[in-house]
Structure 1
Amino acid sequence: MSVLEENPDSPLKKRPPRWSDIWLKKTKPLKHVVFAMQLQSLASKDPKSQTLIPHFANIDRTLLLSDELLLKILSKLPLSQRNPNSLVCKRWLYLQGRLVRSLKILDWNFLVSGRLITRFPNLAHVDLLNGCLFSPRNSGILLTHRMVSMQMRYGNCSNWELLEENLLPVEVVDGGLQALANGCPNLRRLVVINASELGLLTLAEECLTLQELELHKCNDNVLRGIAACENLQILKLVGNVDGLYCSLVSDVGLTILAQGCKRLVKLELSGCEGSFDGIKAIGQCCLMLEELTICDHRMEDGWLAALSYCENLKTLRLLSCKRIDLDPGPDEYLGFCPSLERLHLQKCQLRSKKSVRALFRVCEAVREVVVLDCWGLDNDMFTFASVCRRVKFLSLEGCSLLTTEGLEATVLSWLDLETLVVVSCKNIKESDISPALATLFCNLIELRWRPDAKSLLSSSLMGTGMGKKGGKFFKRT
């Protein structure tokens, strides 16, 4: 036996190499890190050395960054990380509040106490609709409407009585608007209910950049305050809502609105009354108006003829209208909108042939026609659309009374038609497609054909090249 074997503690014996020795060999930065960690452990054991060796792990290195620089960094992060980032520290909570631009208020005290402005000083879009409603938090009954959602104590009263009972008084709403105007001078969009003329006047004086406003439970007197918003571009007025509340917007309010808000680009009138005079005033004064939406209107007969005064109108939408215009007057007084490009009808009742005929005549310059879930549109009604010779886009959905024959009679007269969409129109049958209509399909740029669940036309035309602009055989000149 050798000497090395007899003496295992001899310094001449070589121990097997360790992974740490191989890993740290020729890695000076890692040695510095290990050395710093060792110093940190020694400092934690020796209280006297804690003043000499800093705790690197407890230092907030973001303190070296200014608020402006850190704000730019936080603004680059995705929105999903906004709430977790605000929990890091009070400074990050404050900076994240400066990044918030849009907010929906649910607690009115949060606004009037001033905490809203302190927490979110740079708000541009504020929704006060649900905040204006006082409702118990621990109630098991929830009232949901297409405009509001609130909890209720009991269910033995009408929706109108419930809303009136739980709606904040006008004076309280005006006080909240004043606090919002004083704290958010750069406000651009606001949604509010049950405001008065004085509250809106305060808002107009302080928030000169206000561009979009949505008013619920609006009336003619409230519109006097809106007229002071000279830079207003987008406006939605909600007057009467069946089953929820009742408020009157007539020709008087529409005229006041037209004379004050001359820079309007988009206007939506929901549940509003009026007539020819109110729409005419809007057309003559609001020369920049490009989009008009009329929802569930209560207007008097003859209002359609006033649309011809909207010379720059490009989009006309009719939503949930029980009638269009039962007595539009003679054709020579109707006129037409020369710049109109889009006509959208959704959930409207097209009962009167006279109304539908007058509507298409006023909109004869349109290039896009969309009809969605409108009751009463049969072959005779759709024939009136033939006057619109410049249509390039047609979308029909939920028109159960229209047949293939009625569709063909109109679309064959549109020589510029490029896109056709037919969905859920059960009386349009593929077996009734004529050779002329099939030829039209081949010349279209886009065809979406699904009149019923059994439609096979789309699958049978796969690979033919139809619907691809610039195809070898179907190129349009």
Structure 2
Amino acid sequence: MYQAHYHNRLRSWPNTWFAAAAVDKPLKHVVFEMQLSDQTPTIEDPAPRQLHGDGGGGADLTALFSDELLLRILAAVPDPLRLPASLVCKRWLRLVGHLRHSLTLLDWSFLDRGRLFLRFPDLAELDLVPGSFASPSSVAARGRVLLSWGPFSVTVDADADSPVGECCFLQPGVIDRGLETVARSCPGLRKLSLVASDSETGLMAIAGGCDTMQELELHRCSDLALRPIFAFKNLQILRLVGSVDGLYCGPRVTDIGLTILAHGCKRLVKLELSGCEGSYDGISAIGRCCMMLEELTISDHRMGDGWLAALSFCGNLKTLRMQSCRRIDADPGPSEHLGTCPAIETLQMQRCQLRDKRSLQALFMVCEAVRDVVFENCWGLDNNMFALVSICRRVKFLSLEGCSLVTTEGFESVVLSWMDLQRLAVISCNNIKDGEVSPALSSLFSVLKELKWRPDSKSVLAGTGMAKKGARFFRRL
């Protein structure tokens, strides 16, 4: 009895399903007809097709399935198992290629050979940046090193004074020919990442061949490279990378390029400027022309003085994100000229240096109506600098992570001043102590809808489940 129960428990669901279906006469008849037709040679098919890889020469029942039906079956296969499934036969290899919609190119030669899109004909997202780096051919193998920066890994010359520079990219003509191939072969492309060149040929080909393009990422971008941007009629998300410290130094994106962008992409919803220059004129042009802009990310900027005041022209801006910025605005100008962003909801500061009190105060004045404030691993954020955020009176969510200079006293003085606060997260802030939490702060914790309290690994409340239970946790105490 135990053996019979153990056998039934280990029976897989396909065996159970077919065992139950065997009593179904129509299904049994269909399976018999499939086997019979595959075992009977005809003039068109003189030899029965075999299932590749079974070693026993069994008949391939999937040969009777249409491509559409077999494609639906393969689509249900988990992603890690699709590669083994593509090795069954050439037909399965071709069909599995139709299921791949996102691809990162590591070797440009695969694009030049023209077989990339025969293998993956339905690509919707394509990243060409890693394959756009050229390895130095004149250096011996022992003189090469592999440089990794974020998602990129490139071979550089260890003996050169500047190991990574313009010479590490493919020639503009090679990139343009590759982009023309992409335009001809991927008309349904929606997202593309590439290294820009001053030639308009490549981008114009992409704009003409890929009508559904919605997201574009341009590395080593310049003002000249933005001239064809007007041809992308449906572009909604744009990321411009002028230069990356430690990886490459490209040409500049200035107010000229930002103005070209503003007049050419009026349907833009999300914009990221990384390593770009500019000033009040460029940002104000974007605010005036891109009326649908809702999200702006400024990363490692080289903006000129006074650019913060131009944010007030972004009337529908909801999210402002600043990442890896050494400064905010050296000279924001008089406070009465700053203005505000009326629709702003979220302000995020990630890995920024916040040591200039005047510029940080100007930023909070521009974002006075913000609802969510996030500080993540920001340098220089002490009690005096953190106290400036109290300018924003409508905050409902605050997140502090990796801000070790803020103490419990400075944190409490700001948090208790917000009457609308509903959610709070404090993570890895070592100078905020459990033992210094006052009764007033404890009372605030009890009415919050969401609370994540892990200021350090020694926190008494860190392992109590308070982060998940919030106010319900305190009501049971």
The TM tier, using the shorter chain, reads 0.7 to 0.9
Unaligned runs of 5+ in 2: 1-22, 33-38, 40-45, 52-56
Change (3 A) 1:260 1:347: same
Task: Say if 2:209 is the partner of 1:206.
Answer: yes
Which residue is equivalent to 1:114?
114
1:63-212 to 2 correspondences below 5 Å:
63-135=63-135, 141-152=145-156, 154-158=157-161, 160-195=162-197, 196-212=199-215
RMSD of Structure 2 on Structure 1 (CA): 2.9
TM-score scaled to structure 1, two decimals? 0.83
| 8 Å Cα contact 1:304/1:334 also seen in 2 | yes
Change (3 A) 1:462 1:233: closer
Q: CA deviation at 1:369?
A: 0.6
Q: CA deviation at 1:459?
A: 5.2
| Cα distance in 1, alignment partners of residues 436 and 133 from structure 2 | 55
Q: CA deviation at 1:207?
A: 0.7
| Cα distance in 2, alignment partners of residues 54 and 183 from structure 1 | 32
Which residue is equivalent to 2:225?
222
TM-score scaled to structure 2, two decimals? 0.83
Change (3 A) 1:294 1:65: same
| Cα distance in 2, alignment partners of residues 200 and 54 from structure 1 | 47
Task: Say if 2:411 is the partner of 1:383.
Answer: no
| Cα distance in 2, alignment partners of residues 113 and 408 from structure 1 | 63
Amino acid at match of 1:228: A
Q: CA deviation at 1:62?
A: 1.5
Amino acid at match of 2:134: F
Which moved further from structure 2: 318-327 or 57-66? Answer: 57-66
CA offset digits 1:19-52 (Å, max 9, x no partner): xxxxxxxx9x9xx9xxx9xxxxxx9xxxxxxx99
Amino acid at match of 1:197: E
Task: Say if 2:369 is the partner of 1:365.
Answer: yes
| Cα distance in 2, alignment partners of residues 422 and 89 from structure 1 | 54
Q: CA deviation at 1:464?
A: 13
Task: Say if 2:442 is the partner of 1:442.
Answer: no
Q: CA deviation at 1:163?
A: 3.9
Which residue is equivalent to 1:12?
none
Unaligned runs of 5+ in 1: 1-26, 37-42, 44-50
Change (3 A) 1:156 1:240: same
Change (3 A) 1:171 1:435: same
Which residue is equivalent to 2:423?
419
| 8 Å Cα contact 1:230/1:262 also seen in 2 | no
| Cα distance in 1, alignment partners of residues 193 and 469 from structure 2 | 49
Which moved further from structure 2: 165-174 or 189-198? Answer: 189-198
| 8 Å Cα contact 2:450/2:468 also seen in 1 | no
| 8 Å Cα contact 2:239/2:273 also seen in 1 | yes
| Cα distance in 1, alignment partners of residues 371 and 120 from structure 2 | 44
| Cα distance in 2, alignment partners of residues 52 and 116 from structure 1 | 33
Task: Say if 2:274 is the partner of 1:270.
Answer: yes
Task: Say if 2:455 is the partner of 1:451.
Answer: yes
| Cα distance in 1, alignment partners of residues 50 and 172 from structure 2 | 58
| Cα distance in 2, alignment partners of residues 336 and 53 from structure 1 | 75
| 8 Å Cα contact 1:128/1:191 also seen in 2 | yes
Q: How many residues align?
A: 427
Change (3 A) 1:374 1:55: closer
SS of the residue corresponding to residue 422 of structure 1 reads strand
Q: Matched residues, percent identical?
A: 56
CA offset digits 1:262-289 (Å, max 9, x no partner): 1111111000000011111111111111
| 8 Å Cα contact 1:283/1:309 also seen in 2 | yes
CA offset digits 1:309-344 (Å, max 9, x no partner): 111111110000000011111122111111111110
Q: CA deviation at 1:174?
A: 0.5
Which moved further from structure 2: 324-333 or 143-152? Answer: 143-152
Change (3 A) 1:267 1:145: same
| Cα distance in 2, alignment partners of residues 463 and 399 from structure 1 | 19
Whichever of the two has the greater Rg, that structure is: 1
Which moved further from structure 2: 310-319 or 431-440? Answer: 431-440
Instruction: Please list every run of at least 4 consecutive aligned residues from structure 1 whose deviation after the TM superposition is greater than 4 angstroms.
Output: 51-57, 136-140, 458-466, 471-474
Change (3 A) 1:307 1:65: same
